[in-house]
Structure 1
Amino acid sequence: IVDNRARTTEDEQVKKWLNSQLGMLFWKNFSKPEKAEVYFRRVQKTAGQDEVVAEFYMEYYAKRGNWRRLEQLLGEQGLSELEIKWQLAELAEEQGKKDKALTFWQAVYKSDPSDLSIYERLRSLYSDLSKWHSLVELYKTRLSAMGKDDSKAAVALYLEMISIFKEHIKSDTKVISVW
């Protein structure tokens, strides 16, 4: 009865409210996002994007792994490209999608290579995913950005590179070239 009323009423405010309530009911109370999506789609058609609908679709697309749609949704909210990539990287990390998180963090790092928090996240992800060559490239980028007065940090990075070449890449020639 309520669903029928939500579809057929002429009053746009009532239509929005009923569809929103039905969507919330299926989403939060019954944990049926596919059913909820039908109602939230109706809300979008009636009133456009609102906060609840945006929150639902963020969760809905994230669970389905629809990253392009998430990116589009965040763009519709007026976020900059950098903010979008940052949010998607954090979301991917929360979901344990390390490869996806790595892709987004790389995009963020390209725009701001001086940010140490991003550098540390990339370092951790490269190690977790055993992407040793990429980790070495990250270290080289970091070394080129360091100043002359940062010699202790530079030596530490060189030692880490040597360790990677010895233990993971197993290349004596690369160890020698770093020395």
Structure 2
Amino acid sequence: MAPTPAVQFEAGALVSTPSQLQRNSATKRDKTVVAAYPISIKFSTDIPEYTECILENFSEEDLHLDDRIIWEGSKSKHFPTEIPKGEMREFKHEADFGCPVVGSVVGLEYVFGEGNKYKWIIAWSNSKNELNKVYTEIIEDEVADWDKIKLSLEKSGQHSVAEKHQFLSEIVIDPTSATPTMKATFKLLLLVDDKPTSTSKA
């Protein structure tokens, strides 16, 4: 009996867009490839344009930009240098159409606490032929390992959460838009009946 040939087809976006991110009209197409084996691969095919970024600081600490890395996209240095407690910052990171790889893939490091001993790491990926992804972590007294962070970003999804030292970081991104909104929120946690609870709502 002849082996079953591979079947390939295209489908529309298979991941729901979060309601708070529906203002973006440009979308990436998802392509699903189904082989004779039970394996499916999804990737986006539209060219990224830019990433709308929202950074919220609901902690009791002022955040200061200490480092950044731009894997793909504009080399502009127009990232928020400070995010005072209780405030938010918005900016747009453009994909660089003059580069061989067009995308918006960035990592940012904000320091806080006494002696700037703590670091808030946020990273996002809006890259061609891939679904959009985000990754976050909170580290203490160590240098950010950007290679490791990049690998974690590649393995992540549209939502990432990190909790450490009574702080919570949460990031979300539209998974299929070519002009997605990336929203990162940094919060202080309080202990109520020995259970952590956020000081504010996302």
TM-score over 0.5 for the pair: no
**Shorter-normalised TM range:** under 0.3
Query: Which gives a bigger RCO, structure 1 or 2 (Cα 8 Å, sep 6+)?
Result: 2
Larger radius of gyration: 1
**Would you tell me which structure has more strand in proportion to its own residues?**
2
**Would you tell me which structure has more helix in proportion to its own residues?**
1
TM-score (norm 2): 0.19
